[in-house]
Structure 1
Amino acid sequence: MDELWLIGIGTGSPAHLTLEGRDALRAARTLLIPLKGPGKDDLAELRLAILEAAGAPGRVVPFEMPTRDESLPYSARVEAWHDEIARRWTHALAGAEGPVALLVWGDPGLYDSTLRIAARLIPAPKLRVVPGVTALQALTAAHAIPFNTVNGPVTVTTGRNLRDQGWPEGAETLVVMLDGQCSFQALDPDGLDIWWGGFLGMPEQVLVSGALADVSAEIIRTRAAARAAHGWIMDTYLLRRRAP
């Protein structure tokens, strides 16, 4: 594997694939597809649908994604998980022709660990990154809202940070990613508005927005129902302090 291409594919819609991403998929000789286990077949099928829409002729090589060891502390758990993914890439790609392409949800550089996993490969392949539509872009487009206020800052964080540290000091607009526990419940909702979305850009897309105090229960119900229906969900949300 002399070359590894990490191609951002957006949030699930084949229409999110850029022309650069399409051309890269067509040029790749091997296409690495993760399988995430029972109940998550849709994720592999979506990747395969994107490959078909792009007209990618390369050989598809699947590999089983490992699960995290929940008995370990968070940082050690993630490190061990990344090590195992890199090992499985290496095993799956033994003898594969390059360039090898891996389809990455959203953008490979935003709250995604694919680049960190790729850094574990020995020998190190030549990396190419093709940017993709991010969940941030898909969310604000779906709600038809601006990402920021006039000259205003935006803080991007995770659900874990929101639960552990609360609202960041001085933040006006907050985008929360990787939150499977609806961590906005840990906040004082007074003066906060929320724009939430799941399955962004897909036919299954679900959206809820409004004052956090009014819609938090609706978001929790909607998210739980969507996850039960599909076996998985990718969602994110934007919080903004209301102007006095």
Structure 2
Amino acid sequence: MRRVRIIGIGPGHPDQVTAEAARAMNEADYFLVPDKSADHAGTDGLLRAREEICRRHIPGEYRVVTVRDPERDRDDPSDYRRAVEDWHEARAAAYEQAMLEHPGDVGFLVWGDPSLYDSTIRVVERVLARGAVSFDYDVIPGVSSLQLLAARHRLVLNDIGTSLMVTTGRRLPAEAAAGADNLVVMLDGALRCRTLPAPSAWHIWWGANLGSPEEALASGRLDEALDDIVSVRTRVKAAAGWVMDTYLLRRLPSGGTER
């Protein structure tokens, strides 16, 4: 039966691809890669990063089939779930058409780990449900940006005796208001930590484009670190054409003393 491999390739550096992922890459006949460059200027760098990973880990030739990524409706945040589900369905239709046109075993090269804030597993399930293409699939885990953020800052993500919440920038204000005090934040293109009340009550460990040549780090009390983060973030985006933020926010004890 035709096989689909959903392969976690880490945050972007070829050295962070696992041996298991490299083996799976060499077993695929071609890779389906969403191309966002038509709607998001600068994101062709993401395609080049995947190609560099392929060059490093696949001896000889490899084949990449690009699929234009459907644009997501971002105009109505009150119906966020419906907008995302519609986008997933449009992606599934595009992937299905590409798989009909290109026989063979397919690899999906997924940033970080496929289980963590990524849509590929859900979209592949939708392709199966549509019924035009039959296949079996498996998932190969990858190094996540959370792990690389912690390593770069020499952190243990959970404080002693506490829990860790992983959330998105969209959810950050509500989670902080509800009392969460140790949060990893992903997918925060708006850098919503700037909107938190009492920024002096938080410490931030921030990273952008982790694992890439333009990787940048910053840390400190949130009110003191924000200007530097915004400035560095601007430089990273200018250099790379794209920027992905990941950061840990930890609420300081009363009095604002860092721990």
222-231 or 125-134: bigger deviation: 222-231
How many equivalent pairs are there?
243
Taking the aligned partners of 1:47 and 1:109, their CA distance within structure 2 comes to: 19
Question: Which structure 2 residues correspond to residues 8-87 of structure 1 after superposition, within 5 A?
Answer: 8-37=8-37, 38-55=41-58, 57-72=61-76, 73-87=79-93
Note if 1:142 corresponds to 2:152: yes
User: How far does the alpha carbon of each residue in 1:23-71 deviate from its partner, in whole angstroms, 9 at most, with x for none?
Assistant: 0001111211221114221111110111111116443212111211234
Q: Matched residues in 1 for 2:7 and 2:150: separation?
A: 22
Match of 1:174 in 2: 183
- Which string of whole-angstrom CA distances, capped at 9 and with x for unpartnered residues, describes residues 140-193 of structure 1? 111111111123210111111113x15053433110111111111121213210
Work out the CA distance in 2 between the residues paired with 1:206 and 1:44.
20
Change (3 A) 1:191 1:211: same
C-alpha distance in 2 between matches for 1:87 and 1:231: 28
Is 2:142 the partner of 1:132? yes
Please, which moves more after superposition, 229-238 or 68-77? 68-77
Cα RMSD of the aligned pairs, angstroms, is 1.8
Task: Give the match for residue 211 of structure 2.
Answer: 201
In structure 1, stretches of 5+ residues that fail to align are none
- State the AA in 2 paired with 1:214: E
**Is structure 2 residue 192 aligned with structure 1 residue 183?**
yes
Amino acid across the alignment from 1:31: F
SS, match of residue 116 in structure 1: helix
Structure 2 partner of 1:101: 107
Whole-angstrom CA distance in 1 between matches of 2:75 and 2:201: 38
| TM-score, structure 1 normalization | 0.93
Percent pairwise identity: 41
Alignment check: 8 A CA contact 1:68 1:78 kept: yes
Q: Is 2:163 the counterpart of 1:153?
A: yes
Where structure 2 has 5 or more consecutive residues not aligned to the other structure, the ranges are 255-259
Residue 98 (structure 1) shift: 3.0
Contact 1:173 1:241 in 2 (8 A): yes
Contact 2:54/2:62, CA 8 A, preserved across alignment: no
Question: CA distance change for structure 1 residues 233 and 154 in 2, over 3 Å: closer, same or farther?
Answer: same
After TM superposition, the score normalised by the length of structure 2 is 0.88
- 1:228 maps onto 2:238 in alignment: yes
Cα deviation per residue 1:98-122 (whole Å; 9 max; x = unaligned)?
A: 3210000010000111111111113
